[in-house]
Every structure is written in C-alpha cells, then in structure tokens.
Amino acid sequence: MIKFKNNSKKLEKEWQDLEHINPFLYNIICFYNTFIYNIFQGKNTIITNIYRTKEEQEKICKKAKVKFYKSVHCLWRGVDLRINLEDWQIKIMELLINNKFPYDKTRPNIKTFVRHNIGVGDHIHIQNYTT
C-alpha cells in the first residue's frame, strides 16, 4: 500500500498528478510498492517527497550546506521514500530496480535507485531520466 508522509494531501495530489506527468516514474514506484508489499510481508511504501519548487530546493541546499543545484524533483523526475526495510532488503531492491529500470544507458554510473542523505535524512531516492 502506498502511504504519504504525515498523511499529506499535498503529496497525495502530487502522486495523482505524477501518473500523468511522468507515467514511467509512477510505474517504477508502483513496481517497488507491489514488490515490497508481496515479497517483504506487507511492507508499505511511504512517499516523503515528489515535486519540489525552486524555493523548496534552495532551503534544502541551505540546510545541507551545499551549493544550490536543480533537483530532479523540480522536474517531476524524482520520488523520495522513507526507509522501512532492512539493509539486505534495500540492497535487493536497489539491484532489482537499477537492473530493470536503467536511468540512462549512455551513463551507467547514474542510478535509478539511490539510498542517500543530502542533509535531510537517510532515504531512498528513485529517479528517471526521461518521461
């Protein structure tokens, strides 16, 4: 089941919009959700961020003490998920998604599934290059 951080209506609306704006990314998240729910015994997908304005991105960069950069979230090409899996489960999902949904075949060093912390907490980031 897909849930939203703090039952956010804003995130719920962005999720509905994402299906039309970037159906490929929407389908990657649906794949992730179906897999973890069925294989990892009822784990839910918790979305914490989808779309980000330039101002929101500036605040994140400032908090993280990094130079401003335009995030894929500003282009509807990234979704952040809360970590609610064990490390070994995250590794399985990372391998599965990065192999099934390559970010850009001409740039294999850039991944679709990334676990990272840019200063706002450890989380799973799923992104795509094209819509």
Spell out the domain ranges in the chain.
Answer: 2-119
pLDDT in tens, 43-90: 999 999 999 999 999 998 888 888 888 899 999 999 999 999 999 999
The CA distance from 131 to 129, in Å, is 7
* pTM of the model as a whole: 0.91
120's tokens: 């706002």
Q: How far apart are the first and last CA of the chain?
A: 24
Average pLDDT (97-120) is 91
The amino acid at 4 = F
Share of the chain above pLDDT 70, in %: 98
Looking at residue 115, its pLDDT comes to 95
